[in-house]
Amino acid sequence: MGEFVRLEVADGIGTIRLDRPPMNALNSQVQEELRAAATAAATDDAVRAVVVYGGETVFAAGADIKEMAGMDYAGMSARAGALSSAFDAVARIPKPVVAAITGYALGGGCELALACDWRVVADDARLGQPEIKLGVIPGAGGTQRLARLIGPARAKELIFSGRMVGAEEALRIGLADRVVPADSVYIAAVELVSAYRNGPAMALRAAKAAIDGGLEMDLASGLAWESQLFASLFATEDQKIGMAAFIAKEKPGFTGS
């Protein structure tokens, strides 16, 4: 367990909890603790789905600017890849992952949310990539994941302007998936992924790999990738259980293997 990031596991749900008051600023220590928590969630068989949560007040208001302000090109060049790969560790968790967003998800906080499969957003939350106002650009996935999620034109407008969007606009443009009252965000996020706790874990892993990997390929390569993953599931116990249950008109009792 890290000082500022911890993985809490209960009833098949792993919560990656950011806890660096007051704004969960993402300094280099948080970055590495986040990587460790994501790796633990990915490899722990007791974790069947993941919630990334910053607490009742704020998700994450961005990078620690005081830490960055004095860095030169050489220093940031050495650090930038590590920051991006820490968020990528979250994106590569081979299980359903949802961000539970309260308060602000700005800059690196928005990029962390983009690394998740879904975003449940408080009705008074604000999201955005304001880096342009600091004379820089998003450097941990924002230009890439945001454009893939909401389209390049909308992503350019948000990144070029650096403006924040409210929850309803985020929902309208596809940046948010659900909007709920602020005091219900964590509960709603858990409810969203709870449906997958008893599902076929290997098939869920394959589905996520097929979608995420396919987005980086041309259609023919993506179809071949999908076929390979589809065929591989016939080596799993859950495939036998699922098809036998279908034939018997019963509810499958998946084991996750």
**Catalytic one of 37, 111, 125, 170:** 111
Say if CB 120 and CB 101 are below 8 A apart.
Answer: yes
Per the annotation, the verdict on 142 as an active-site residue is: no
**Catalytic one of 2, 62, 103, 108:** 108
Return the amino acid letter for 61: A
250 exposure class (CB count in 10 Å sphere: 0-12, 13-18, 19+): exposed
Per the annotation, the verdict on 253 as an active-site residue is: no
Per the annotation, the verdict on 74 as an active-site residue is: no
Length of the chain: 257
Residue 175 three-state SS: coil
**Catalytic one of 99, 131, 189, 210:** 131
Please state the φ and ψ torsions of residue 163, each to the nearest 5 degrees.
Answer: -75, 155
Per the annotation, the verdict on 131 as an active-site residue is: yes
> Facing residues of 8 across strands?
15
- What secondary structure does DSSP assign to 140-166, as a single string? SSHHHHHHHHH-HHHHHHHHHH--EEE
139 contact partners, CB below 8 Å, separation of at least 6: 80, 83, 84, 131
**Catalytic one of 37, 41, 60, 63:** 63
Say if CB 19 and CB 74 are below 8 A apart.
Answer: no
Choose among 79, 89, 87, 85: nearest CA to 107. Answer: 87
Residues annotated as catalytic (active site), given as ranges: 63, 108, 111, 131
